[in-house]
Amino acid sequence: MDGLSRPIGASVPIVFKGRTWILPPMRLHDFGVVEQHLLSRRPNLVAIALEAARQQGLTEEATDLLVDRALKQAAKSNRISSEEMKEWLDTREGVAFTLWQCLEKSYPGQLTLEDTNDILQKMAEDKFAEMLAKRDQASGMDALGNSTGPTAGSAAGPKAAARAAEPDPHETLSSDARIGGNGGTASSKRSGSRKKSRK
């Protein structure tokens, strides 16, 4: 209806397991769940360091140094890049996870992740490509979605999810100005300076 489906973030009908489902779009929170899922599969660097220290019989001081190095490395890798997420989202495993994740909102308990993944792994290439396209259409991650901007409430892809997690520089400026003293915000100080210049 005059392109209404895009700006309101409408769901998309899909045929799966011999029936029609209404697939909701992925929201920002869903991308966060995906990131947590991927992070949970990464090795525990601290546990690995402790086990290595135990096997090698390291001293307490040497163990502390090894664990400290592992903690620093873990802190650096405790995030998923938008490129890494997009690559995984387009795999059969990624499509299965996000299909299950989104359908669970409207059809709780009617699908399992294991069952969904098993079906996607065995799906013919053309059917899989169609399912991938439907998911991206619903979430505004397809070519049209990216050209017309994000749909209402959708995250418009992993890059938008990453941008949403970044601090707003304007908000930081306002906070700094409030903390800076003299009781005035940055905007009020600028306003005062303009009044002085007009005099």
> Is 123 a member of any domain?
yes
CB burial class (10 A; 0-12, 13-18, 19+) of residue 63? middle
Assess whether 53 and 121 both reside in one domain.
no
Same domain, 47 and 103: no
pTM above 0.95, yes or no: no
What count of residues does the chain have? Answer: 199
Distance CA 71, CA 154 (A): 34
For 13-44, b where at least 16 C-beta lie within 10 A, e where not — what string?
Answer: ebebeeeebebbbbbeebbeebbeebeeeeee
Whether 117 and 29 share a structural domain: yes
- Please check whether residues 29 and 93 belong to one and the same domain: yes
Count CB neighbours of 90 within 10 A: 13
Q: Is residue 134 part of a domain?
A: yes
Residues 107 and 20 in one domain: yes
| Domain extent at residue 25 | 12-38+80-164
pLDDT for 28-82, tens place per residue? Answer: 999 999 999 999 888 788 888 889 888 888 888 888 888 888 888 777 777 888 8
Pair 63, 91 in one domain: no
